[in-house]
Structure 1
Amino acid sequence: MIVTVEEAARHFRRSPSAIRRWIASGAPCERVGQSRKGHGAMVDLERLEQWYARKYQLPSLEKRSAKEHFEQLAAWLVDAFKRDSSGLGIPIHQLLGIGQDKGAAFLVMIYAYAHLRQFECRPEVRDLPAGLLTLYRIACIDAHADKVPSQF
């Protein structure tokens, strides 16, 4: 059921500002609010309840399975870099017309962003899956050694 932030707040027995903070931190939102009357954010209660359960009620179980999902994501990103990113048999950086160092950096940053959203921390370079570590090194080919980040 799609409801307003105020209705969701009543449902969860929280303040509307708490629901807005949840949305800002990644909770599912059907419509982002605007600063005009009648144009507030709208949320799907069922999806918001699922998000709340994953984030606050079952964190260790969810994070354990998320780690497995992130290993698969890393494998897919490496595959997109090496081979077939679009069904055309062309590596993604060639398809986009950019150098392989920028393509590798882009894929590593996608992984880092997803990791940050899921685990609320940036991944350390030493903790990257092997294939992504290779992409990281390719991305750093043109970078100066003193400017290579150890964390994203």
Structure 2
Amino acid sequence: MSDAGWEPPTGSWASSAARRRNMQAIRSRDTQPERMIRKLVHAQGLRYRVAAKPLPGLRRTADLVFRPTKVAVFIDGCYWHGCPEHYVPPKTNPGYWSEKVARNMARDRDTDQQLAEAGWLVLRFWEHEPSEECASRIADEVARRRSGKP
């Protein structure tokens, strides 16, 4: 598809048709780190909901939800959630993207607070963390909550 004569839609953040296609291709769920962690957690005999809302009235979706034990798991992308180790500020349209990441981070903190107030345990992992360690921690926390230990 040619970019010649391409005009971004009114109010669009896209600086070019190629950039728009690239950004639209980024997955919001079922990323490689999510799939790997889910596979490892499932292999340990745990069952969960995928891309589910922990609280009905909260417009936030967790990557894995263990409803009976009230555990919500988020696997955050380093760029989109501002990883302190790997986030690199954008070179194109830096104002928009930096503000977007800052809003994501603020929403993450708000989500954590709202879920904690409702009695949920929130587990957050960065996409670069070893999947085995993430799965082990998830299994340990779910088991701990099932046993009723604080």
TM-score interval, smaller chain: under 0.3
Structure ranking higher on relative contact order (CA contacts 8 Å, 6+ apart): 2
TM-score (norm 1): 0.25
Greater Cα radius of gyration, structure 1 or 2: 1
Greater strand proportion: 2
